[in-house]
Structure formats: C-alpha cells, structure tokens
Homo-oligomer: A and B are copies of this chain.
Amino acid sequence: MTSPVLPSHGRVRPLGLAQVSLTGGFWGERQAVNATATLAHCESWMERLGWLANFDRVADGTTGPDRPGWSFSDSEVYKLLEALSWESARSGAPEAEAAIKRLTARIARAQDPDGYLNTCFGHPGRPPRYSDLEMGHELYNTGHLLQAAVARLRTAGEDDLVRIARRAADHVCRAFGPGGIDGVCGHPEIEVGLAEFGRALGEPRYVDQARLFIERRGHGRLKDIPLGRAYFQDDIPVREAEVWRGHAVRALYLAAAAVDVAVETGDGELLDAVRRQWERSVARRTYITGGMGSRHQDEGFGEDWELPPDRAYCETCAGVASIMVSWRLYLATGEVRYADLIERTLYNVVAVSPSADGRAFFYANPLHQRAAGRPADPDEVSPRAEAGERAAWFDVSCCPTNVARTLAGLHGYLATSDDDGLQLLQYASCRIRAELPGGPPVAVDVETAYPGGGTVRVRVVDGSDRPWTLSLRVPAWASGATLTEGGRTRPVEPGFVRVRRAFAAGAEIVLELPVTPRFTWPDPRIDAVRGCVAVERGPEVLCVESHDLPDPGLLDTLVIDPGSAPRAVEGGALVRGRARAFPDAPWSYRDRPVDGDGGDWFDVPLRPYHGWARRGPAAMRIFLPLATDLRPSYPPIQEGA
C-alpha cells in the first residue's frame, strides 16, 4: 500500500494514497500548485546552485574544496525525490516520472562501491567519511535518501533509487552496527529513514539499526558545543527525557523515529516516553499556531513558557516534523488530540510557508513582525531564515522541499481506517475509495468549503448492507458543533463522533463546525503575551497586518476591546480597537503606569495568518494587547495588614 508511514501495528491504519484524492479547496489548490510549480522550482534552484552537479563531480572525480552548498544539500535532492514520487503516483504526471529518473541516474553514479553515498565527505579534496558526526549531516542525508526510496518503493516498486538506498542502508548498518562506529549523527533523520525503509522492505536489520541509534543517543557521544549537547538531543536518553529541547527539527525527527521503533519492537516504555514529551512540549513549549521552536540562536525549543511572538522561530520544517510525530502517535493510539495538533500545524505553520504561486517560502514563522522587511528578490538566495516576505530559495534551503514532500502526500493524512470503519481526520473536499479489512468497501465523497465555511458534507457513494462506523473528528476548538444524519441534527462534542450503520448509497452525513471568529486567551504563564488575546476562526489563527491599517506604526499602539466579540466578515474578522497615543519619553520606565491617550475606536480587520505578507512585506501581529487598565482585581491591601 502507498503511504509515507505504515507501522506494523497500531490502533488505526493509514489509508493508502491511492484510496484518497483531494478534489479542490484549500488543500487541493495547494497540492496542485505544489505539483505544477514548486517541484520544478526546487529542481531548478538545485541545478543552478550546483547541488545536483555535486553528484556528477563525485562520479567524475572532480569534486574538491570548492564544492558548493552545505553538507546537507544532498538531502534536498532526496526530499525532492520523495515529493516527486508521491506526485508521480498521485497524478501520473510524466514530468514527475521523468524528473525521478533523471535525478536517480545522477545520484547512482556518485555512490561508492561499498554503498557510501555523500557528495560532501569521503572524496579527494573533501574531509574523510564520518569525520564530523556533530555537524556533518552524513547520516542525515542518508535518512532522507531512505525516505525517498520508501516513497518510490511503495508507489512504483523496486527501482534504481530503491537499490541505491538498500546499498546505502547496508553500508550504514555495517559502519555503525554492533562493532562499528559507536556514534550517532548530530542531526537525527537516519533513524526515521531506516525504520520506515525496514518496514517497507520487511527488513528487520534496518529497524534494529534505528533502535541502536536511538538507544545510543543522550549519553554524550557527540562533542559538547557552545549551544550544548541538548542542541542535538545528546544530553538525555530518549526514554528518560521529560520534554523536547534543543534544535526543534532534530528533536522532532528523533521523536518520530522513537515512535516507529517503539511500535515495531513493542516497546511500550519508549512509546510512553514520547507521549509524555509530546504532552509537556505541546502544553508549555508550543505556539498557538502549532509552531515549535522559540529561539533563533539554536533553532530550538526554549524553556517552559518561553514563547516570544516576535522572535518565534517556528521553522516550517519543525511544523512538518511535528506532524510526523503526531501522525505516528495517532496511528499508534487512535487518540484524537494528535490529529487536532496536526490540523493546527497544517493551517498555521505548513500553509504559511509557500507563496500563492508556490515559488517562494517562509522559513521562520514568527507571530509578530515589528517592522515590514524588504521585498524579496525572486532571483536571490536568502542568506537568512527570517524575512518579511517569502524567499525564492535559501542558503540553508530545507523548508521548500519539506513543504513539497508534505503537500505531495497530504491526502494521506485526511483519513484512517480500522477493522470497523473509517475515521475522517482533516476536512477537505476529497474522494475516498477504501476497502475495510474483512469489511465492506467504503466509498465516500466529502464536500466542504472548510476552513472558509464550517459545513462538511460526507456523501456515501456505494451503499452496503453490512454496517460500518464512520468517525468524524470534532476539533477541540469546535464547541457548538452539530451533526446531521437521517434528518436529525444533534450537538456533538469535541473528539470523535461516531455513526455506525449499514450506509445506503446517497446517505449524507453533515458535520457543522462553528467557524465564527472567536477570542483565544493565552495561559498567564506565557509571559511574552500577557495581557493579550488572539483571534481564531475554525482551525485558522488570524492576524492583523499593517496593510490593513491606516498607519503601520499603529501596530505598536493598538489595543482592542475584549468586551466586543470578533465579528465575521468575508476573508476574516473585525475586532474593535483603538490606537492609543503614548508620549515619546526619553526613558521607557516610569514612576507611574502610562495609559496613553485613547484614540477613536475603529474596526480592525483580521485575516488568516497563513496568508500574511502575500500583499508584500508587512508588519503583523497575532496577539493583540487588551484595552484594560492596571487596576487591581481586589481591594488594595492595607499596609501592615
């Protein structure tokens, strides 16, 4: 079956990618842009920058000290190959298939006879193999090769790419297996690649090697660096850690692999460790957007409650990686909370990154942009992660290909099945044609304008006299949802609402989700947004952009009326706000509170955060300061009382 993740066990099973197809709407449009624009865009930049030619140079013996690109540039080619594989299977587009063959042929020539494959290390004029486990990314690259091979294997069978990956995986097992190098890669990824490749091939050696890497980690095998060993999660063993820390993408790729290994080896303790880490990290180290990573310095998680909106890193790749972890936990447990976080992250991290034309991307996804940045040059490589506008490409360009591979296989995350029926997790217009194991065929069409509208219409296409259960996820935010079936409408609570019956052809089940804009209040322990509120609409976080204000400077002084509920308007919401005028003082710390002069109240327009800066660079904020005073909430206490 075709799916990025296919555990041997689990409470629920993914549907195969061939069983689901997006038929338009929010994600269908993005998947189409990904197919027609982003994939070719990525290949063209990698050609232009010599990242593809790096493979030719190794083959031709002409590589050397002037090799362009970072040590992880090979991985971008592999992530693109993964995206192309899902896309080729989805659409049958001949361009995708041709690109796969073209890239595979160039990669094949660069592989050493013993299976080692890397354009940065291990060749004349380059550092020796495995000479920089901390920052060299060799095994990281290989991990992405294996994930690409999984995509190819599950969509097209064993081809050259799969054979290349097998030789590379065998080399890794020889080099790092028992008796080999007693090390781990600074950037986890080989683990998740080996586990899935092992599952796809039915090859337990690869899963064993993944387990070995996971068990080795956290004992200080990697050198200490200024950012500390927590940066690459080598500070605490995976099964002992209480929370995610250090570089967010590293932490999350590692956690995803730990779930895979736990599931394959029946290691409940390891699975519980990741669940525990997920719980605390989601409760205390995650942004309202689902974004993870509070610090630019190490691209990492901060401490509990350290969630600055302006310096939020929230790397796009960390969003992709968070979905990888939650998806695996959902498959293992069937718990709805993991699907809730996936939805939040899809709309407010992954969807934020690509431009409408699929040829520019956000890398970092801050929740507050103080000054509109410079316009991005579509012909320029951005040297940095932060920007006021989406960039065509990056010096460190992990995000575009991560978006590409996620969107190309996105239909795989919409629904799952178990022996009894189908679970609808993410709402998008789509067709589902599945077989339940030992059960009836399940054929439903979903139509919805979600997230713009809250009506989700599920129509049964093929009837059957054998009963099955249709489960619909009611998101945690959706209080007041209703379900209509058989002419009856009833309120439903967050969680799974389940309808069990023998569905007749043409039966329609309608879930109504309340996408009225609403205030959302942060926990008072999140210091950086104290005294603020956010506005959400369905699964979307909204924001104010300077484009919509008479003066961009108002974003610094805007306060909003918490007593006046947000009102829905086309494309977003309105809240009541005013811009207080503050005296420009020589010193910003005073002997009494400054309230500012209240300006006139006006309607402040909010739009979905995922569309910010599409009209050019903007200042922006998600959390809005409240027009409250500083009066105590109780009678003042007498001195000496």
Chain B residues within 8 Å of A637, by CB: 561, 563-564, 576, 601
Question: Nearest chain-B residue to A382 (Cβ)?
Answer: B226
A525 touches B556 (CB 8 A): yes
Chain B residues within 8 Å of A477, by CB: 591
Interface of A is mostly: loop
Looking at A526, A532, A634, the one whose CB has the most chain B CB atoms below 10 A away is: A634
Interface membership of A568, Cβ < 8 A: no
A561 touches B636 (CB 8 A): yes
Interface membership of A114, Cβ < 8 A: no
Looking at A228, A371, A591, the one whose CB has the most chain B CB atoms below 10 A away is: A591
A518 touches B591 (CB 8 A): yes
Mark interface residues in A552-584 (1 if CB within 8 Å of B CB, else 0).
000011000111110100000000100010101
Least Cβ distance of A310 to chain B in Å?
6
Mark interface residues in A601-641 (1 if CB within 8 Å of B CB, else 0).
10000000000000000000000011111111111110100
Q: Knowing A306-B310, A563-B637 touch, does A395 contact B226 (C-beta < 8 A)?
A: yes
Interface membership of A167, Cβ < 8 A: no
Chain B residues within 8 Å of A586, by CB: 279, 282-283, 337
B479 touches A591 (CB 8 A): yes
Chain B residues within 8 Å of A224, by CB: 383
Alpha-carbon separation in the docked complex, A383 to B630 (Å): 42
Interface membership of A523, Cβ < 8 A: yes
Chain B residues within 8 Å of A632, by CB: 561-563, 626-628
Chain B residues within 8 Å of A591, by CB: 477, 479, 518-521
Question: Nearest chain-B residue to A518 (Cβ)?
Answer: B591
Mark interface residues in A518-556 (1 if CB within 8 Å of B CB, else 0).
111111111111111010000000000000000000001
Interface 9-mer from A180-188, A297-305, A400-408, A504-512: A297-305
Q: Which residues of chain A from 363 to 403 have a CB within 8 Å of any chain B CB? A: 368, 370-371, 383-384, 395
Question: Nearest chain-B residue to A370 (Cβ)?
Answer: B303
Least Cβ distance of A516 to chain B in Å?
12
Which of B279, B368, B587 is in CB contact (< 8 Å) with A282?
Answer: B587
Alpha-carbon separation in the docked complex, A588 to B304 (Å): 11
Q: Knowing A528-B308, A639-B565 touch, does A589 contact B521 (C-beta < 8 A)?
A: yes
Interface 9-mer from A145-153, A254-262, A592-600: A592-600
A633 touches B639 (CB 8 A): no
Mark interface residues in A337-381 (1 if CB within 8 Å of B CB, else 0).
100000000000000000000000000000010110000000000
Question: Nearest chain-B residue to A309 (Cβ)?
Answer: B527
Question: Nearest chain-B residue to A584 (Cβ)?
Answer: B283
Alpha-carbon separation in the docked complex, A580 to B589 (Å): 26
A295 touches B311 (CB 8 A): yes
Chain B residues within 8 Å of A563, by CB: 632, 635-637
Which of B286, B308, B628 is in CB contact (< 8 Å) with A633?
Answer: B628
Least Cβ distance of A286 to chain B in Å?
8
A283 touches B587 (CB 8 A): yes
Interface membership of A216, Cβ < 8 A: no
Which of B528, B627, B639 is in CB contact (< 8 Å) with A527?
Answer: B528
Interface membership of A288, Cβ < 8 A: yes
Looking at A286, A587, A598, A601, the one whose CB has the most chain B CB atoms below 10 A away is: A587
Please, could you name 17 A-B residue pairs with CB atoms under 8 Å apart, sorted by A?
Answer: A226-B384, A227-B384, A305-B556, A521-B589, A522-B589, A523-B594, A524-B594, A524-B595, A524-B596, A524-B625, A530-B531, A531-B630, A563-B636, A564-B639, A567-B639, A629-B631, A631-B631
The 5 A-B pairs with the shortest beta carbon distances in the complex, nearest first, are: A563-B636, A629-B633, A523-B588, A531-B531, A303-B370
